[in-house]
Chains A and B, each alone.
Chain A
C-alpha cells in the first residue's frame, strides 16, 4: 500500500516550458487535491477533484490545468512555466471532500524550480 505517490520528485524548467506533474493514490479515495507550498504562505489549494469526472478551482488556479484521468490519478499541468511557479507541489487525497471524514493523505511532494 503506497498511499499517495508523486512524480517527479525534483524538476528544473526554463521559463515558457511545459510539464505535467503526476499523482496517483491506491486508497480508493474519491477526492484528490493539488496544493503549492511557499515559504510563509502555508499550503494553497490550486485545484481539486471532489469525485471522478469533476474538477474545481481552488485559491490559486491561474497558470495551471488539471486532469482527473480516473479514480486513482490526478495530474497537474503547467502549460507555460513562469518563475512565480517555483514552489513545492503536493498532491493529496481523501475519502470525501469536506466534513469529519475529510482526512487528507499527502504525497511526498515535487520540488519545482523555474529559471
Chain B
C-alpha cells in the first residue's frame, strides 16, 4: 500500500538558518503530494502541494519539488523564523479514489 516516510525530529535550528525536512514515499501510479503544518494547539493546515512530477509547490517561503525518480518531496526554506516552529507532515493522495496517507510528522523548533 501507499506509505510516507519522514525524517524524525525534533529538528532544532537557529533563526535565519536553512531548513530541509526529508520526505520519501511509496505509491503506485502518480500520487499528489502535500505538506501540512500544525502549530501548537491547532489543527493541520495545508502548506503546499504538487500534483505531478517536477512540479514545485511553494508558500510562505517554503518550497518542495516533486521528484518522481527519487520518490521524494523534501521541504526547504532558506531562512527560518521563530514563528515557523511547528510540526510538519508530508502526505500523499494516491491516484484514483483514495484518501490521504500521512507521514508521522517532524517537529521543528526555531530559537532566536
A42:B89 contact, CB within 8 angstroms:
yes
Provide the bound-state CA to CA distance between A80 and B73, in Å.
41
Interchain CB contact under 8 A, B99 and A103: no
Residues 97 to 112 of chain B near chain A (Cβ within 8 Å): 97-100, 102-105
Which residue from chain A places its CB closest to the CB of B51 in the assembled complex? A100
Q: Is the interface of B mostly helix, strand, loop or mixed?
A: loop
Partner of B104, one of A42, A58, A98, A109: A42
CB <8 Å contact, A103 and B34: yes
Residues of A within 8 A of B58 (CB): none
Known contacts A90-B43, A103-B34; decide if A45 and B99 are in contact (CB<8 Å). Answer: yes
Q: Distance in Å from the Cβ of B39 to the closest Cβ of chain A?
A: 11
A98 touches B51 (CB 8 A): no
A48 at the interface (CB under 8 A from B): yes
Of A48, A98, A104, the residue contacting B96 (CB under 8 A) is A98
A interface: dominant SS: loop
A64-115 CB contacts (< 8 Å) to partner B: 90, 92, 97-100, 102-109
Tell me if A100 and B32 are in contact (CB < 8 A).
yes
B50 CB to nearest A CB, Å: 9
CB distance from A7 to the nearest CB of B (A): 14
CB-CB under 8 A from B100, the residues of chain A are 45, 102, 104
Q: Does B17 contact A (CB under 8 A)?
A: no
A48 to B100, CA, bound (A): 11
- B43 partner residues in chain A, CB cutoff 8 A: 4, 90, 92, 106-109
Q: B82 in the interface, Cβ–Cβ < 8 Å? A: no
Chain B 28-54, CB-CB to A under 8 Å as 1, else 0, gives 000010100000001111100101000
Docked-complex contact A102 and B93, CB < 8 angstroms: yes
* A-binding residues in B (CB < 8 A): 32, 34, 42-46, 49, 51, 89, 93-100, 102-105
Q: Which residues of A contact B (CB under 8 A)?
A: 4, 33, 40-43, 45, 48, 50, 58, 90, 92, 97-100, 102-109
4 smallest beta-carbon distances between A and B, as pairs: A106-B43, A42-B104, A100-B51, A102-B93
